[in-house]
A = this chain, B = another copy of it.
Amino acid sequence: MSDAALSAAETLPASRYPIDALLADIGGVPVSLEPTDIKRKSRDYYWYSPILNARLKDKFADIIVTPRDEADVIRVAGACYRHRIPLTLRGGATGNYGQCVPLEGGVVLDMAAMNQIEWQKPGIVRVQAGAKLFDIDAQTRPNGWELRMHPSTKRMSQIGGFVAGGSGGVGSVTYGGMREPGNILAARIVTMEEAPRVIELRGDAAQKISRAYGTTGIITVLEMPLAPALPWIDVIVAFDDFAEAIRFGQAIAMADGITKKLLAPIQWPLPENFSAIRPYCPDGKAVVLGMIGAMSIESFETLLEPFAGTVTYKTPSEDALNKTPLYEHTWNHCTLQMFKVDRGITYLQVLYPHDRVVEAATEIGAKFPGEVMQHLEFIRINGLMTASGIPVIRYSTPERLYEIMAAYEACGIMIANPHVLTLEDGSRYKRVDADQLGYKHEVDPLGLLNPGKMRSFVPRSPGPLQ
């Protein structure tokens, strides 16, 4: 929906919640009741999915609340609990599953103002949940460190939203996904109770908020492990044959002596939409986009020799807000680049079997020529190197989409369905092994946090309004 369309619709239905009572309780905490604000801040990139778009486009908050600090969060949480008002966390809103869309209205808690770094130690940063990934890297790099992984939306995303919804990204080829032990050190949360508690979840316990969409506590602070900030080289390699591109990507992926942050084989015609790097993506060719450690770039090219590929681009990575980075052509940005020229598409999220990556990709590709366009991102999962993928799909009907999903699964490729709203339906291999449902009962007994997203949760009887 364009901003113009938003402004045209300036009124919203009256709220079913006692918003005035809430306002009286949280006086001083910045809020917005402007319909334009409310509409803009009630959505994310769910429109990549025509199915989610239909279900979410008329879901709006009643009020946007922007806490300045943890004390504000506690006041808002307590007030929401007393007045039985749902509260949905909003980070950078770069997700694609409606993670931050308030299905039941109520408060959208916009974390953008809580964006401070609390401290840095060698290899660790402690940061408020609303800090942008880009800004975190900018502040840790002078000390020699950077985030271990980030989504392709790094220029906009916030760390809280990434941890609450993301599963991995650029960097996961080395560190695995967010769910791997050691990739979240601690989370500080505020509970949704009469008297909200502040809880520090350390170690394994921090997984209780990982990929839980903010249903298991209001994340205020995160302690994240860092990676050494290395000199990265952006590289593009072109191949006549997509399978050859995958084979080469896998050879680099499996070479532990080659330091890397990104390895993405991408099938033609997807590169046709890569306006920022189009000159380096020859017509009709598959490409591998990579971020390779400068100390490994010669070895990377040596390993390319037996493959039928040509380096078309090789230049030091640059993280600048005003420049499209190479990684914004991988992961779900690959879909976005195509949306810019073609709205008739959607996408899936898949995980290739680690011991049959090339075979499975070839097999599924042969079944849907022209309809399924593949790109793979190599990642480690459970200690094994494999590849996830976010295939771009020419969209016709939901039925056809589900048919394609079934075909993927028949090829041994796992699906994490991005066309559903709930954690349980969407996550599968991305789910962590923590008792998030049990924990929700402890910290959000009435189910007021992002209601509708944790399908298995049944709140205890709310009791009378106070």
Contact = CB atoms under 8 A, between A and B. Distances in A.
B305 A204 contact: yes
Instruction: Classify the interface of chain A: helix, strand, loop or mixed.
Output: mixed
A302 B204 contact: yes
A183 B226 CA distance: 23
Contact of A256 (B180, B228, B258): B180
A253 interface: yes
A298 B183 contact: no
A255 B182 contact: yes
A185 B116 CA distance: 41
A303 B123 contact: no
Nearest to A302: B203
Given A122-B231, A122-B294, A299-B181, A380 B203 contact: no
A204 B254 CA distance: 16
Contact of A182 (B203, B226, B257, B383): B257
A242 interface: no
A175 interface: yes
Interface string A396-439: 00000000000000000000000000000000000000000000
A312 interface: no
Contacts of A204: 302-303, 305
A380 B257 CA distance: 10
A93 interface: no
A139 interface: no
B382 A182 contact: no
Contacts of A249: none
Given A203-B302, A385-B383, A256 B295 contact: no
B256 A380 contact: yes
A160 interface: no
A203 B253 CA distance: 17
B181 A255 contact: yes
Contacts of A202: 298, 302
A185 B298 contact: yes
A296 B380 contact: no
Contacts of A182: 255-259, 296, 299-300, 303
| Residue from A202, A226, A254 with most neighbouring chain B CB atoms (10 Å) | A254
Contacts of A296: 123, 182, 225
A149 to B, nearest CB: 10
Contacts of A383: 253-256, 385
A301 B225 CA distance: 15
A230 interface: yes
A123 B257 contact: no
Nearest to A148: B257
A231 B185 CA distance: 17
A370 interface: no
A293 interface: yes
| Residue from A183, A299, A300, A382 with most neighbouring chain B CB atoms (10 Å) | A299
A138 interface: no
B181 A302 contact: yes
| Residue from A181, A294, A301 with most neighbouring chain B CB atoms (10 Å) | A181
| Residue from A148, A175, A182, A293 with most neighbouring chain B CB atoms (10 Å) | A182
B254 A203 contact: no
A220 interface: no
A123 B203 contact: no
Contact of A257 (B175, B254, B255, B300): B175
Contact of A295 (B144, B225, B299): B225
A207 to B, nearest CB: 10
Contacts of A230: 122-123, 228
A231 B228 CA distance: 11
Contacts of A380: 256
A256 B299 contact: no
Interface string A368-390: 00000000000010111100000
Nearest to A224: B295
19 contacts: A122-B230, A122-B295, A123-B230, A144-B144, A144-B228, A148-B257, A175-B257, A176-B255, A180-B256, A181-B257, A181-B299, A182-B259, A182-B303, A185-B295, A203-B299, A228-B228, A253-B383, A254-B383, A256-B380
